[in-house]
Amino acid sequence: MQNFDIMTENAKEKVLLIESQYFPPIDSYKTLIKHDILKIEKYEHYQKLSYRNRCYVAGPNGRMILSVPLARGKNQRTVMKDVRISNEEKWQGLHWKTLVSAYRRSPWFEYYEADLQVLFEKPFQFLMDWNLACFEWVNSKLGIEVPITYTESYEKEVSGITDARERILPGPVTESEPGYTQVFQERTGFIPGLSILDLLFCEGKQSLEILKKG
């Protein structure tokens, strides 16, 4: 993974600026734990083909995508804070069934199952609200306590903080990831570029230590 740390030497706290993501990929968390404060970009325009409304999990035949449907479709040019979820289809139920099917045999899924199911039963109207709820849920399980702030306007160039916007994207992953055993690894080989959920379900309370080694 690339090093996005562009902090000034005199800064007391390291701030990470990144876009809102749905159950962020492991690479995002590897970056996050090196910082003290998280700032989420709120005023950018929605960009398709990103982790803003999708995450990837491991299935018996390889990587599977979970995509949150949007009210105006994926081609919209809406400011992120205003992007609405389309709840016409029961997407939360479908995502939950996919997770159960993929991870019910993982060592830690049963430990988190009941609590996570409650999250998937809560209705959300805005994508950023849903992403934040998912992010906070994972943080509570990993034991990460990081203050969360939001941008007050969009700035293309920023200084004195780590700007990771548009740096961690879906696509071929060639960089190494934390070493752990995935559910279908014997069948598919290790699949990089997955959601933090994959690590959590496979390694549970050891996840944070594995992230620190990555």
46 secondary structure, DSSP code: P
What single-letter amino acid sits at 79? V
Say yes or no to pLDDT of 6 above 70: no
Q: Which residues contact 12 (CB under 8 A, 6 or more apart)?
A: none
Give me the mean pLDDT over the 196-209 stretch. 97
Q: How far apart are CA 87 and CA 89, in angstroms?
A: 5
Model confidence over 133-159: pLDDT tens digits?
999 999 999 999 999 999 999 999 999
pLDDT band at 178 (very low <50, low <70, confident <90, very high): low
Q: How far apart are CA 2 and CA 57, in angstroms?
A: 22
* Residue 66 near residue 22, CB atoms below 8 Å: yes
HSE-CB at 168 with a 13 A cutoff on CA atoms is 32
pLDDT band at 4 (very low <50, low <70, confident <90, very high): very low
pLDDT band at 205 (very low <50, low <70, confident <90, very high): very high
Phi first, then psi: what are they for 66, rounded to 5°?
Answer: -115, 115
**Predicted TM-score of the model (pTM):** 0.90
Say yes or no to pLDDT of 1 above 50: no
Model confidence over 75-121: pLDDT tens digits?
567 999 999 999 999 999 999 999 999 999 999 999 999 999 999 99
Quick one: tokens of 210?
């594995």
* Residue 98 near residue 57, CB atoms below 8 Å: yes
Say yes or no to pLDDT of 57 above 50: yes
What single-letter amino acid sits at 137? W
* Residue 113 near residue 120, CB atoms below 8 Å: no
